[in-house]
Each structure stands twice: as structure tokens, then as C-alpha cells.
Amino acid sequence: MKTTAFAPGKLMVAGEWAVLELGKPCLVMGIKKGVTVTITPSDAVSIEAPDISSDNRLVFARAAIKIASRYLIEQGRLLKLFKLVIRSDISHVGLGSSAAVVVAVIKALFQFHGCKFSQEIIFKLGCVAHYQAQGRIGSCFDVAASTYGGLIAYERFDSVWLEEKLSFCGLVDIVPQDWPHLSVTKLSFPQNITIKTVFSGESADSRELILRMNSFKKLEKRLYDEICDKIARLVRKLVLAIGQQDCDKILFFIKQNRVLLQELSDKSGLDLETPALKKICDDAERQGSAAKFSGAGGGDCAIVVCKTA
């Protein structure tokens, strides 16, 4: 029997970089486009990804298969052989295709094996798979967006705690536990707020940027922490503004988030807001909108936040 599962891509709204630290929130949302995985019975396990040009995405798909299979085996289920086909309509990088692949693969495998699941189970297994496939870096906010969809406020889990648990516990024991520091809260923008995505024309390597930012953090930890603290405080104010459905405050805090990211870009020397991203944001602000790069920066996408009548 054929099984199909879909997972949306993501768009980071606010809180980049700070979310990598414990206790610091970000705002992220699922988008309409994403990844669809289809599984059919087969004589051997195989993966096809005709719409995915990067072999890197297949690394995440294999990690998701490994983690989902391990969980199913720990539940006492017999694994079936299958053909897995991944299709993506995410045309631009920076929109969370790797996380969407992980989530869609795990959902499809669970459905294929008749295993009941909740969003929490998919998210936590997706975190393990994505975290390991990405070299044990990142916050997995994109996995949260691909799992829960919509707009969410997210705070990362304690990766040290998770690493320790994975060293001596089974996944069926780890998943039901409360993960330290993890927080996922659903929110909704006002109806007259519109968010547009603009691709900068340049691709960014988020993993490489994180590694380089970690080097800056080691050299200038106090400065790095100060900027991340300011970003976290701003995101909390933005969450309150969204709860109050205050459009003017929402745009103001998005603009302020850009200013703080520019400070981080300048101090770290990483050129997070590239000339192309700067032009997009400057043009949007001249039109009365708020704008900033979305995600790690260094290329990929900018978001433009508009207030409609």
C-alpha cells in the first residue's frame, strides 16, 4: 500500500543566532511549500529524490530512516522493505528543506508501518535525526516548524542532556521525557500582517557560518552573549506584541531585530547581512515595511513584513 506524508518548509521570523543558546526564544513559521515523501512496498530499501539536487538532503533522509527504524524496532515492530521517493517544491535554499525531509520521512515511515504517532513524537525523533546529520550543531527550530506548522515561539532543548541520554537510553525511553529547556508555543499573526520572502540570489552555508560564529564566540564570549541577550529580550517583546495583535509594534520589533543582527554581523566579521540582503531590506523599509534576513544570513532569503489596510 502506498503511503504519503508532507512536511512544510520554514521561515525564521526573529531570533536568529540567539536561539542557539539555552533559554533564548525565536519566532519561526511553517510555509505552504515543503517536502512530500511517498513510500511503496519493495524488495529492497531504496531512496529516490528527483527534485533534490543536493546530496546533502539525502544525508538527512538516511538519518531520518535510521532513527525512525530504530524507534520502530525498539517498539517491537518488524520492518518492511520499501521504496521511498522524496519530492520537494521548495525552490530556494534557506527555507528548511533538510528539516522538512526529516519530518516527512519519519511521518511516512510511521504511516507505512501502521504506527500511531503524535506531533511531539515526530518532532523529537526529527530533532535526533537532524541534529546528528548536521554534525551535532543547530537548535532544530526548523524541525519544529516542519512538524507543527503555523507560527511558533521556540526555545531549544539542552543538547548536552540529549547526548547523555542517547549514550545509554533507548529512543522509546527518551521521547516521552520532558526535554530540559524545550519550549514550543503556537501563535497567530494579525490578519492584516503579510510576510513575503525574497531570495537574495546567493546561497549560504549555515553549518559553516555556525562553526565560524562559534570561533567568534570563544574569542569574544561576553560581547556575543550581550548581543544574544538583547535579541532574546526583543523576541519576547515581539511575542507580546503578537499576542496583543499590535501591528505597529510588530513591525518596529522586526526592524530592531535587523539592527541587532547587523551589530552581530559587524562584530563577528561574518558579513551576515550581505550587500544583496541589505538592498532588499533597505528597499522594503523605504516602502514602510519591516525587513531582515531570515535564518543564519550570509545569503539565502530576506523576509519583508507588511501591514495591509
Residue-range domain boundaries for the chain: 3-187, 193-307
Structural contact between residues 24 and 12, judged by C-beta atoms closer than 8 angstroms: no
Q: What is the mean pLDDT of the chain?
A: 93
224-274 pLDDT, tens digit each: 999 999 999 999 999 999 999 999 999 999 999 999 999 999 999 999 999
53-89 pLDDT, tens digit each: 555 778 999 999 999 999 999 999 999 999 999 998 8
Tallying the residues shown for the chain, one arrives at 309
177-235 pLDDT, tens digit each: 999 999 999 999 999 999 999 988 888 788 889 889 999 999 999 999 999 999 999 99
Q: Could you give the count of Cα atoms lying within 13 Å of 249 in the half-sphere of its Cβ?
A: 15
Query: What is the share, in percent, of the chain residues with pLDDT greater than 70?
Result: 96
> pTM of the predicted model, to two decimals?
0.93
Cell numbers standing for residue 18: 540567539
H or E segment at 10? strand 3-14
What architecture does CATH give domain 3-187?
A: 2-Layer Sandwich (3.30)
Task: Calculate Rg over the CA atoms of the chain.
Answer: 19
What architecture does CATH give domain 193-307?
A: 2-Layer Sandwich (3.30)
Cell numbers standing for residue 100: 522538512
Residue ranges with strand state E in 15-89 = 26-41, 46-48, 82-88
Per-residue pLDDT at 94 exceeds 60: no
Mean pLDDT of 113-118: 94
Please give the pLDDT value at position 201.
85
Please give the pLDDT value at position 102.
96
Per-residue pLDDT at 43 exceeds 80: yes
**Three-class secondary structure of residue 96 per DSSP:** coil
Mean pLDDT of 25-53: 91
Q: Could you give the count of Cα atoms lying within 13 Å of 159 in the half-sphere of its Cβ?
A: 18
DSSP 273: S
Determine the Cα–Cα distance for residues 124 and 205; give it in Å rounded to an integer: 24
Please give the pLDDT value at position 96.
63
Q: If we measure between CA atoms, which residue out of 141, 187, 136, 181 comes closest to residue 16?
A: 141
* SS3 sequence of 176-228: CCCCCCCEEEEECCCCCEEEEEEECCCCCCHHHHHHHHHHHHHHCHHHHHHHH
Please give the pLDDT value at position 91.
62
